[in-house]
Amino acid sequence: MAAEKRPSTDGLVDNIDGPRESTELDELPKYETPAEEPAPITLKEKIITCLCVALNTFSTLGLIFFTKLVLSDAQLASCQIMVVMWHFITTAVVLFIASRAPFRLFKPVRLNPWHMVPVCAFFAGYVILGNLSLTYNDISFYQLAKVMTTPTVVLINFVLFRKTVTRWMLAAILTTCAGVSLTMVKAVDKEDKTRLLGVIIAVLAFCSTALYQIWIGKKIEDFGVSGPQLLLNQAPIAVVMLIPFVPFLDTIPDISTIPTKNLWAVLGSGIMASMVNLSQFLIIGRTSALTFNIVSHIKTILILSIGWYSEKKILTGKEWLGVLLALGGAWVYSHLAMKAKQQK
In a domain, 24, yes or no: no
Which string of DSSP letters, residue by residue, matches 57-82?
HHHHHHHHHHHHHHHTSHHHHT-HHH
**What is the pTM assigned to this prediction?**
0.77
Q: At what angle do helices 43-71 and 139-146 cross, to 10 degrees?
A: 120
The pLDDT profile of the chain, 344 residues, written as one tens digit per residue, is 444 444 444 433 333 344 444 444 444 444 444 545 555 667 777 788 888 888 889 999 999 999 999 999 999 999 999 999 999 999 999 999 999 888 888 889 999 989 889 889 988 998 999 999 999 888 888 988 888 888 998 898 888 888 888 899 899 999 989 988 887 766 665 554 546 888 889 999 999 988 888 888 888 888 888 888 889 999 999 999 999 999 999 999 999 999 999 999 999 999 999 998 888 777 766 666 666 667 787 888 888 888 888 878 777 888 888 889 888 888 888 888 877 777 76
Distances, alpha carbon 20 to alpha carbons 14, 33, 119, 142, 310, in Å: 9, 19, 57, 68, 73
Domain hosting residue 207, numbered range: 44-252+265-343
In a domain, 95, yes or no: yes
Distance in angstroms (rounded) separating the CA atoms of residues 323 and 126: 24
In a domain, 28, yes or no: no
Contact (Cβ atoms closer than 8 angstroms) between residue 269 and residue 67: yes
Question: Where does residue 13 fall: left (phi above 0), alpha (psi -120 to 50 degrees), or beta otherwise?
Answer: beta
pLDDT in tens, 296-343: 878 888 888 888 888 787 778 888 888 898 888 888 888 888 777 777
In a domain, 39, yes or no: no
HSE-up of residue 318 (Cα within 13 Å, Cβ side)? 8
Distance in angstroms (rounded) separating the CA atoms of residues 54 and 60: 10
In a domain, 207, yes or no: yes
Which string of DSSP letters, residue by residue, matches 284-295?
HHHS-HHHHHHH
Number of domains in the chain: 1
